[in-house]
Chain A
Amino acid sequence: MIVRGAERIVANAEELCELDRAIGDGDHGTNMKRGLQAVLAKAEDIAALPTGEALSAIGRTLVMTVGGASGPLYGSFFLAAGAAIERGRRLPEDLVDVVTAGVDAVGARGRSTAGEKTMLDVLIPVLDTLKSEAGRADLLGQVKATARESTARTAPMLATKGRAAYLGLRSVGHVDPGARSSCLIVEAVCDTLEARR
């Protein structure tokens, strides 16, 4: 799962840069690629750890290697998710709690919330779907659909956080790169779980 998520980002780095060139500084793809390649390099060691520690290790690696705001933002997600498990939450039964901890941490780190044209505009709808569709047989398909639809919905949004906010109205009409990278990771995780069935 770690390898698949990381490879998906690495493979799509150019698209993320392209999105970021439109409304940011154009480095989201290379930053994420650098971070996820660092995760890939340690993937075997990380996979050998207990789940909570593995998530924390991914978070720390992203924080130390991404080199843009997305490092601490994605890093905080994984660190908080890992901490939730180390506090006694279990997967898969406590998935909603674990993802909630991660999403809350991203919001706190970025002092952001839904509707500001950020990665939260994918992560929050995905979390809502995890809650509303819990236990359904097609949960993973629903989550992926939510991720894709919510990513597309960032296009008409006006950015009020991050570098895109400097563009004001000119940020409208472009998909948010952070939303897109979140979507890629969510899809990769779902695909991996589906393949295991």
Chain B
Amino acid sequence: MSGNVGIVIVSHSIDVAKGAADMVRQMVGEDVQVAFCGGNAEGGLGTDVALILQAINSIWSPKGVAVMVDLGGAETNSEMAVEMLPAEKRGSIVICNAPIVEGAVMAAAEAAGGGSLERVRAAAEELSAG
């Protein structure tokens, strides 16, 4: 358990999610807790609220969790998952508006340096600022 912001990667594809998580781990090792999920309940492409909740809870950090998502349903389902968490956790989760792979790596690099949740989010979202 590191004291840093954790990263959750939510893709429609478990392979994309795992690949992005691998890239994060290569970058930051054990300094940042990373969890990932992808696919619907039947193992097809999609996202699943229960799996997202599980991923968030598996790496919960009091410093917060930054969630990286790919396409629309991943974002909507992640928002739903956040709303289903207890109120005291809800305020410590952000869903980042960033490309999923690059955003995850940038966010993790910031988190590894001890950055706050807001700084982690800003690092990820810098990529989509254009």
Complex CA–CA separation, A163 to B44 (angstroms): 17
Inter-chain contact B46/A73, CB cutoff 8 Å: no
Contact of A109 among B40, B41, B50, B79 (CB under 8 A): B79
Report if A107 contacts B (CB, 8 A): no
Inter-chain contact B77/A31, CB cutoff 8 Å: no
Complex CA–CA separation, A64 to B77 (angstroms): 9
Report if B42 contacts A (CB, 8 A): yes
Which B residues between 90 and 122 are near A, CB-CB below 8 angstroms?
none
How many inter-chain residue pairs (CB < 8 Å) link A and B?
55
Which A residues between 99 and 148 are near B, CB-CB below 8 angstroms?
109-110
Which A residues between 75 and 91 are near B, CB-CB below 8 angstroms?
75-76
Complex CA–CA separation, A109 to B40 (angstroms): 20
Report if B45 contacts A (CB, 8 A): yes
Inter-chain contact B76/A72, CB cutoff 8 Å: yes
How many whole Å from B63's CB to the nearest CB in chain A? 27
Complex CA–CA separation, A64 to B53 (angstroms): 11
Complex CA–CA separation, A65 to B72 (angstroms): 17
Which B residues between 44 and 89 are near A, CB-CB below 8 angstroms?
44-50, 71-73, 75-77, 79-80
Contact of A68 among B42, B47, B50, B79 (CB under 8 A): B47
Report if A29 contacts B (CB, 8 A): no
B-side interface size class = 10 to 19
Inter-chain contact A69/B41, CB cutoff 8 Å: no
Complex CA–CA separation, A31 to B45 (angstroms): 10
Inter-chain contact B77/A25, CB cutoff 8 Å: no
Inter-chain contact B72/A67, CB cutoff 8 Å: no
Q: Please indicate the chain A residues that have their CB under 8 angstroms from the CB of B42 in the complex.
A: 34, 67
Inter-chain contact B49/A109, CB cutoff 8 Å: no
Complex CA–CA separation, A67 to B80 (angstroms): 12
Complex CA–CA separation, A63 to B47 (angstroms): 11
A-side interface size class = 20 to 34
How many whole Å from B114's CB to the nearest CB in chain A? 33
A71-B49, A163-B72 given as contacts; is B80 within 8 A of A65 (CB)? no
Inter-chain contact A31/B76, CB cutoff 8 Å: no
Report if A27 contacts B (CB, 8 A): yes
A34-B41, A67-B41 given as contacts; is B76 within 8 A of A109 (CB)? yes
Q: Output the nearest chain A residue to B47 by Cβ-Cβ distance.
A: A67
Q: Please indicate the chain B residues that have their CB under 8 angstroms from the CB of A76 in the complex.
A: 80
Complex CA–CA separation, A27 to B47 (angstroms): 12
A34-B41, A34-B42 given as contacts; is B76 within 8 A of A67 (CB)? no
Q: Output the nearest chain B residue to A26 by Cβ-Cβ distance.
A: B45
Complex CA–CA separation, A65 to B45 (angstroms): 13
Inter-chain contact B41/A72, CB cutoff 8 Å: no
| A to B CB contacts below 8 Å, 7 in the list | A30-B44, A64-B50, A67-B44, A67-B46, A68-B47, A68-B73, A71-B49
A residues lining the B interface (CB < 8 Å): 25, 27, 30-31, 34, 63-65, 67-73, 75-76, 109-110, 162-163
Given contacts A30-B44, A31-B46, A67-B41, 7 further A-B contacts (CB under 8 A): A27-B45, A34-B40, A34-B41, A67-B40, A109-B76, A109-B79, A109-B80
